[in-house]
Amino acid sequence: MDAKQIITKKINGDILSDSELEFIILSYVQNKIDDGLMTDFLRSVKKNGMSMNETISLTSIMVDSGERIDLSQHKPYKADKHSTGGVGDKVSLVLGPIMASLGITIPMLAGRSLGHTGGTIDKLETIPNFKTNLPVEEFRRNVERSGICIMAQTDSICPADKKIYALRDITDTIDSLPLICGSIMSKKIAEGIDGLVMDIKIGNGAFMKELVTAKDLGSILKHVGESFNVSTDIVFSNMDQPLGNTAGMWCEVLESINALKGQGADDLMAVVFELGSRLMLQAGIVETNEQAIQAQENSISSGRAYEKFEEMVVNQQGNIRDAIKVNQPLFVKEITSDQEGFIESFDTTMIGWANADMGCGRRTKSDTLDNSAGVEFNVKVGDYVKEGDRVFRCFNSNISKLEKACMILNKTYSIGKKKVETPELIYKN
């Protein structure tokens, strides 16, 4: 087969066979085609899309490019959650321990920052010594021992996706529905799970701007998941403003710890409880949403949820006690309102990029992260502010990056005279 001919075929909008797709994907993994050719392929997929059969085939090729995690001897219901990415989205860090404390097994492969959105693995690595790169056997033992382990994608699990994922981040091909689906579902299927809940973000801070497009992605994800015998629920949530009280690195982990101790922001906990309820209903351990929410609240109030988080951190050799000390920012700046009125809107994507430039994300593969960096949000849409009230508190350990980010953040919110309604957080399917 000839890679250029196959890619030209896709550029022309033709449907590729299983063997043609496999040839392209594996040729890239084996360094037989370079980033340039693969970029042409990814952009042709973004432009022309894929048929359902192509998408299922792409997912299968990615799964089969590496090893699968065998949890077949582990009897409790095995499930995971995935988000399409947002600003301030630390849901996995809160939801995972709650679910594990309630008897659902969470074997989670998580990602790094992508575009303007943060990455769960980057955040966890702000905990001193926390190991995210685990051998598959150690990951499996942690899951069986404690019911939860969150690790980075290894070289042995879906290596095709790992390499393509890094290229998508810098080639403007993040928001292709088939590529999103293949990337997400290959990792989830390789985990050996029984069920999955997908949090598809919608709004100006999400990759999906409109509900109609998000529903298209949800339909594809559900179809692919169930074709691999993974029960798949779809939740659509609003990303027209950041989620929770912070966005960044260690600050999000600290917020998650506070949430597990009963001090979670209302919007963050609403998303956590919605996703958790879907998983608990899938697993058959509750019969109603009300029972599921009550069980999650009890897990937090009893201390079991936070204990499970601590157990996970210890299993992965992390040290929470030292985290606050080593992640103190050197510089802090406040952004205050220059007028009186009501917060009308946020440009959440611009907030995400400002955060990335401050040290929370990557514009290129070689960019380094600043664990101390982040933004604290002091207001939400609909809140009243007076002149001089704090809107954002920004912090990191590089003053030039901080000043540049603050110049951007100053332009990311609008204030009006009339109170606007708080955006609907969870969209009804």
Q: What pLDDT sits at residue 234?
A: 97
CA distance 358 to 361: 8
Strand ranges inside 153-214, DSSP E? 195-202
Residue-wise pLDDT tens digits, 25-42 = 999 999 999 999 999 999
Closest CA to 93 of 50, 136, 55, 126: 126
Residue-wise pLDDT tens digits, 239-298 = 999 999 999 999 999 999 999 999 999 999 999 999 999 999 999 999 999 999 999 999
Q: Looking at the domain 79-322, which fold is it?
A: Pyrimidine Nucleoside Phosphorylase; Chain A, domain 2 (3.40.1030)
Closest CA to 120 of 249, 235, 207: 249
Chain centre to alpha carbon of residue 292: 23
Contact 351, 412 (CB under 8 A): yes
Q: What pLDDT sits at residue 366?
A: 72
Strand ranges inside 318-404, DSSP E? 331-336, 341-346, 374-377, 384-385, 390-396
Strand ranges inside 216-359, DSSP E? 231-238, 246-248, 331-336, 341-346
Contact 134, 151 (CB under 8 A): yes
Q: What pLDDT sits at residue 165?
A: 83
Q: What pLDDT sits at residue 166?
A: 82
Angle of helix 177-190 versus helix 211-227 axis, rounded to 10:
40
Return the structure tokens found at 53: 């059969």
Q: What pLDDT sits at residue 1?
A: 87
Q: In a 3-state reduction of DSSP, which class is residue 248?
A: strand
CA distance 412 to 391: 10
> In angstroms, what CA-CA distances link 201 with 13, 78, 218, 391?
28, 24, 11, 23
Q: What pLDDT sits at residue 258?
A: 98
Q: What residues contact residue 208 under an 8 Å CB cut-off, 6+ apart?
A: 84, 175, 200, 201, 202, 214, 217
Q: What pLDDT sits at residue 99?
A: 98
CA distance 274 to 289: 8
Contact 391, 237 (CB under 8 A): no
Delimiting residues of CATH 3.40.1030.10 domain(s) in the chain: 79-322
> In angstroms, what CA-CA distances link 54 with 48, 67, 104, 110?
12, 21, 32, 24
In which residue ranges of the chain is pLDDT below 70?
A: 365, 429
Delimiting residues of CATH 3.90.1170.30 domain(s) in the chain: 330-416
Positions marked catalytic:
82, 161, 168, 183, 187
Closest CA to 246 of 382, 116, 393: 393
Tell me the pTM: 0.92
What's 65's DSSP letter? T
CB atoms within 10 A of CB 427: 15
Q: What pLDDT sits at residue 174?
A: 82
Q: Looking at the domain covering 330-416, what would its CATH class be?
A: alpha beta
Q: How far apart are the first and last CA of the chain?
A: 44
Q: What pLDDT sits at residue 367?
A: 80
Q: What residues contact residue 78 under an 8 Å CB cut-off, 6+ apart?
A: 71, 104, 105, 106, 107, 191, 192, 193, 194, 195
Q: What pLDDT sits at residue 75?
A: 83
